[in-house]
Amino acid sequence: MATDDDRSTLDGAALARAVALLRAGELVAFPTETVYGLGADAADPLAVRRVFAAKGRPADHPLIVHVAGVGAAERFAVLDGRARALAAAFWPGPLTLVLPRRPAALDEVTGGRDTVGVRVPRHPVALALLRAFGGGVAAPSANRFGRVSPTRAEHVREEFGEEVFVLDGGPCAVGVESTIVDLSRPDRVGLLRPGGVPVEAIEALVGPVEPGGVAAPGTLPAHYAPRTALRLSRDPEAEAARLRQRGLRVAVLRAGEPEDHARRLYAELRRLDALGVDVLVAEVAPDSGLGAAINDRLRRAARGANGG
Ligand code: AMP
Ligand code: MG
């Protein structure tokens, strides 16, 4: 999907450099429509280990393999009829499928599981990178472990400085991570993480989606966290007034139209976090569609933040 920012179009020299780095076993931060990823050649175990080291991420949290299309996904995973239907409807797009793995899915990527998560992102720069590279790119979000996900190139630079080359694709159009669906069992569809594709749209194609599924160790209760304490409220102005009466300095994050709210959520959390107030109060979003993903991230952010 095009964004209103011309950095979503291609810079040929930067793209060539990113491909060369991936081939050399180095890391590349790249834009997707959800958040920026910290990518490595999914076929290179040492490169994949560098991702965990750079993030400070526990080795048993599996990475998503990003590919240019269904054909490339099939090199890493076994797709059944449900997977094909979802891929046809939502790829390229913010949907990750957890599927039985093939041998090309390395233990370093899957955390030694018999499943692998695969996705075709929709951002034109991500797709161009994946096509030019030709292989799979294993990538988590390009932030230090547990912190707020990056939705702009400058957020990645704030996290990693000169340590990592950043392919700049402008601000992310969706702004929250992919929906993760577990299709590893033939008899059930499990929701591992709400995200950019509404669960309701998935259910319309493959029937009821149950919460949970195979263990997804990356989905921690405390995650996506600002440093400032964060509270959720359905009436944020009243909550802010109460806290101010107690002498606390408060900043408020209002909800609003879900697509727009999702797009600016992480940038707003970063901006408000930098104000140096005592408490952030975030308005709870309506709990359907993209709102479910927004509330999921806010709840985890509240648990991970200081005092929250
Ligand atoms: P991140 O890239 O930080 O958004 O995290 C990717 C998340 O995808 C992981 O933390 C897991 O929750 C999930 N995931 C990826 N691959 C698998 C898998 N094979 N089985 C279960 N969950 C997975
Ligand atoms: Mg992440």
Determine the topology of domain 229-305 in CATH. Rossmann fold (3.40.50)
- Report the pLDDT value the prediction gives residue 6, as an integer from 0 to 100: 55
With a 6 Å cutoff on the Cβ, whether 296 touches ligand 1 is: no
pLDDT of residue 2: 44
User: Across-strand partners of 97?
Assistant: 118, 181
Find the farthest-apart pair of alpha carbons in the chain and give their distance in angstroms, rounded.
Answer: 60
Question: Which pTM was predicted?
Answer: 0.94
Omega before residue 211 within 30° of 0, cis: no
Residue 164, CB-side half-sphere exposure with 13 Å CA sphere: 30
Rounded distance from Cα 34 to ligand 2 centre (Å)? 11
Half-sphere exposure of 148 (CA within 13 A, CB side): 25
Per-residue pLDDT of the chain (308 residues; tens, 9 = 90+): 444 455 666 789 999 999 999 999 999 999 999 999 999 999 999 999 999 999 999 988 999 999 999 999 999 999 999 999 999 999 999 999 999 999 999 999 999 999 999 999 999 999 999 999 999 999 999 999 989 999 999 999 999 998 999 999 999 999 999 999 999 999 999 999 999 999 999 999 999 999 987 766 666 667 788 999 999 999 999 999 999 999 999 999 999 999 999 999 999 999 999 999 999 999 999 999 999 999 999 999 999 765 33
CA dihedral 133, 138, 141, 146 (to 10 degrees): -160
Domain boundaries, given as residue ranges, for the chain: 12-211, 229-305
Same fold, 12-211 and 229-305: no
Task: Give the C-alpha distances (Å, rounded to integers) separating 25 from 12, 33, 232.
Answer: 20, 24, 42
Residue 98 Cβ contacting ligand 1 at under 6 Å: yes
What is the pLDDT, as a whole number, of residue 265?
97
State whether the beta carbon of 97 lies less than 6 angstroms from ligand 1. Answer: no
For ligand 1, say whether the CB of 150 is within 6 Å of any of its atoms: no
Instruction: Determine the pLDDT at residue 306.
Output: 53
Would you identify the CATH topology of the domain 12-211? DHBP synthase (3.90.870)
Predicted pLDDT of residue 92? 98
Give residue 207's pLDDT: 96
Residue-wise DSSP of 248-296:
--EEEE---SHHHHHHHHHHHHHHHHTTT-SEEEEEPPPSSTHHHHHHH
Nearest CA to ligand 1 atom 16: 117
Residues paired with 115 in a beta bridge: 100
